[in-house]
Structure 1
Amino acid sequence: MEQAVVEQIVRQVLANLPNQSIMGIPAGVSNRHIHISSEHMEALFGRGYSLTKDKELKQVGEFAAKETVTLVGPKGVLAKVRILGPVRKITQIEIARTDGFILGVVPPVRDSGQLEDSPGIVVVGPKGAVNLPQGVICAARHIHMPEADAVRFKVADGDRVTVAVPGMRGGTFANVLVRVHPNFRLEFHIDTDEANAVELKNGDLVTLA
């Protein structure tokens, strides 16, 4: 049987499975962190420096590094902000809104990579400092999905959905971006402010509303 026919049959079977809307999606609560470019890593840690992997993250190829930096804003400082690898083309800092109060900046809610007109900040490492003109955002909540799960949930890449959180302080989150890729693993990403509001922890299950 041809591969295309097999894939079509699988999609049809998955689409007809009952109660797909109540399947659990594991939560991943995202603490403040920085994605760093090779240029800025050398400025902060020295020429030729490479990140040291500390912990594998759920998404394929991503990891928490042992290295941390200090963020210096107009009003305050946040120390030991974790670097997430691998190295990226552009430096991006993701913080919660309450972190912005401490630093004295107002991070806009943005999808990853959308850094235009975002505030800048000073990043300090053991070998130097970088004055970023922009790049501080509050990451918009989103769901990573492999293609099979996208079929089961009947959604497509770029869709916006509503997520329901169970429990005494549970609630719903609207405008959740769906990101679909063959290498993704199913996970709902929100920041610490959002998670604390509904008492959601890493690994807790949510559903599509």
Structure 2
Amino acid sequence: MDQRKIEQVVNKVLAVLADTTTADLAKDKIPVGVSNRHIHLTSGHVECLFGPGYQLTKAKDLKQVGEFAANETVTLVGPKGVLRGVRVLGPVRRQSQVEISRTDSFLLGVKAPVRDSGKTAGTPGISVVGPAGAITLENGVICAARHVHMQTEEASHFGLKDGDRVKLASDGERGCIFSNVLLRVGPDFRREFHIDTDEANAAGLNNGDLVTLQQ
């Protein structure tokens, strides 16, 4: 294929992408991402649990840029029960945080409050066991509040900004309205509605299902 034909093909592809972006921007549909129980760790806690100098290894990329599910898992030990095989998510963070469902909290015997990610003051702690050691978190166990990730330009299109609270509607036999949904806006964010397994099951939603932004 000569250079002229290559340029024609590239231009056609770029045109299609531009049309798709415009069309997607006009839509008020948001794909669902169901968050199972998981843990975020500091680099120091990674070493405590998996060994000196240890670094997380990637199992698969998540939808949000730079985030991934690690191959590594840990065991959570609460006052009443144990949860094994809890996935570690990367990259490492400045503060360790455990995100579980309300059902998980009953099993563990931990009264995890519904909180926005990172707001862990006054939350309960838990013991975490890895293959090379164990740690006890003084706090950081939460039921993550439902939230939406959205790219800056998309949010602007809808007249929204970071920190706004929105409503989302789901269809189907268990269709419902999700209110008080935190909006997280950033230049690299990809549109996605994050809920935990309890909320997803109650609404009959699965990964990739679509909900509608209520304007």
- TM-score with structure 1 setting the length: 0.89
The alignment status of 1:34 with 2:39, answered yes or no, reads: yes
Kindly state the Cα deviation for residue 151 of structure 1 after the two structures are TM-superposed. 1.8
Kindly state the Cα deviation for residue 62 of structure 1 after the two structures are TM-superposed. 0.3
- TM-score with structure 2 setting the length: 0.87
Q: Which amino acid aligns with 2:83?
A: L
Q: Which amino acid aligns with 2:146?
A: R
Q: Report the secondary structure of 1:88's partner residue.
A: coil
Q: Which amino acid aligns with 2:88?
A: I
Aligned positions of 1:18-167 closer than 5 A: 20=26, 23-167=28-172
Deviations 1:128-155, CA, capped at 9 Å, x for gaps:
1001111100001000000121022221
Larger Rg: 2
**Gap regions ≥5 residues in structure 1:** 1-13
Kindly state the Cα deviation for residue 168 of structure 1 after the two structures are TM-superposed. 1.0
What is the percent sequence identity of the aligned residues? 65
Distance 2:163 2:206 in 1: 25
Distance 2:182 2:203 in 1: 19
User: Which shows bigger deviation, 122-131 or 143-152?
Assistant: 143-152
Distance 1:51 1:33 in 2: 14
**Gap regions ≥5 residues in structure 2:** 1-21
Poorly superposed stretches of 4+, deviation over 6 Å: none
Say how many residue pairs are matched: 192
